[in-house]
Amino acid sequence: MDAPSGWIIFACSIAFASASFFEVRYPSVVVSAETGGNLTIAAGPNGGNIYMTPGDRGTVFIGRTDMLKLFQIVNSQPPVWGQKAPYGTLGTFLGGQAVSLQLTAMDPEGTSLHYEKISGALPPGVFLDRASGLLNGTAPDVDATYEFGIRVMDEQGKYADQTFTIDTRERDQCRSSPCKNGGSCTDDMGTFSCSCRTGYGGKTCTISCASESVGVANNLKTIPDAQMAGHYSFGGSDHKAYEGRLNSPTGWIGENTNSWFQVDLGNPRKVYAVATQGYSATFNLLTFQLQCSLNGNTFSDVNGLNGTAAVFDGSGTSFNTVTKQTLPVPDLCRYIRFVPKTWTNSHPGFRVEIYACEDF
């Protein structure tokens, strides 16, 4: 009788232990139905049992499915939330405050969990770490309630959903009195703005505008050469506008009272003061007027309190003396022109600086 090794021929191996029991012991036992047939294991009608009992390290497969594992999953429990109350608020946070909230859940089977937002919205700036369940970030500066659903899932794919809320409150950024020198504060979303008293500027009114150089001076040069212009210069081209910087070794020299020297600040600023230095006994400045423009095209006189063009003192013939003049009324200008009125000897010659604040 030839049979494939490892296989048994049924007829040869039946061992009758008793009238109601038989046993087959081989490394592999295969029982198969013919093609188109059925393999049927049926207990008798009078209460017989069917057992499938794998060894300690064995299991039971149907097809490729590990039936023991499947039953374990079927019988397993979903995770349980530590945070109980539905719609439970997780807290109230002030704008800018750090948020660090640990969501807690556990799986009765002890498998590891991961968290996922399934509905609603987290506060902008707060993020969920899916592996740890940590809600972390910074509260937005608004009055709002954020409601969101979180699903916690175990390794068996079982999950529990929970809805949470986080409340945020807009913080009053003016509470710390950030505006100095009598400036008034306006609170905003995440920020504030100051309205400074006359003479002060900057985000928090700490800048004294009459001392805030725009940077024409030779040692500063914040204003580039290209933003300086001279009209009707002495000697045609001998003296360039960029020589008109305070403390420059030379100076700008005009021709007569039709000449002007212009600085483009680059953007509109409130001009509070100007300073001049003379150039020499020959080229100097005794008095001048100022003109101001926002577009570089239309200029108006800088006036005195009496409403007519103010006349300012220059430094005369002194090379070193800086003569600073405050505008009677601070003027918003992008372009500012120095118009020489009087000088001694030959021609008006001078060097300048301008003091101004950004107009907030």
Q: Which is nearer to ligand NAG, 78 or 123 (CB)?
A: 123
* Partner whose binding site includes residue 177, from ligand NAG, Ca ion, none (CB under 5 to 8 Å by kind): none
Instruction: State which residue has the least CB distance to ligand NAG.
Output: 304
* Partner whose binding site includes residue 304, from ligand NAG, Ca ion, none (CB under 5 to 8 Å by kind): ligand NAG
Q: Report in angstroms how near the CB of residue 78 gets to Ca ion at its nearest.
A: 6
Tell me the window of 73-81, 175-183, 248-256, 291-299 that interacts with Ca ion (CB under 5 A): 73-81
* Partner whose binding site includes residue 173, from Ca ion, ligand NAG, none (CB under 5 to 8 Å by kind): Ca ion
* Partner whose binding site includes residue 76, from Ca ion, ligand NAG, none (CB under 5 to 8 Å by kind): Ca ion
Distance (Å, rounded) from C-alpha 294 to C-alpha 302?
13
Q: How far apart are the first and last CA of the chain?
A: 107
b/e for 109-136, b at 16 or more Cβ within 10 A? beeebbbebeeeebbeebebeeeebbbe
Q: Report in angstroms how near the CB of residue 306 gets to ligand NAG at its nearest.
A: 4
Q: Report in angstroms how near the CB of residue 76 gets to ligand NAG at its nearest.
A: 30
Q: Which is nearer to ligand NAG, 4 or 36 (CB)?
A: 36
How many other β-carbons are positioned within 10 Å of the β-carbon of residue 38? Answer: 6
Q: Report in angstroms how near the CB of residue 93 gets to Ca ion at its nearest.
A: 13
* Partner whose binding site includes residue 63, from Ca ion, ligand NAG, none (CB under 5 to 8 Å by kind): none
Instruction: Retrieve residue 304's tokens.
Output: 């005195």
| 140 touches Ca ion (CB under 5 A) | no
| 105 touches Ca ion (CB under 5 A) | no
> Which residues bind to ligand NAG, rule: CB under 6 A?
36-38, 134, 136-138, 304-306, 308, 310-311, 328
Residues that bind Ca ion (CB under 5 A): 76, 107, 109, 154, 156, 158, 170, 173, 187
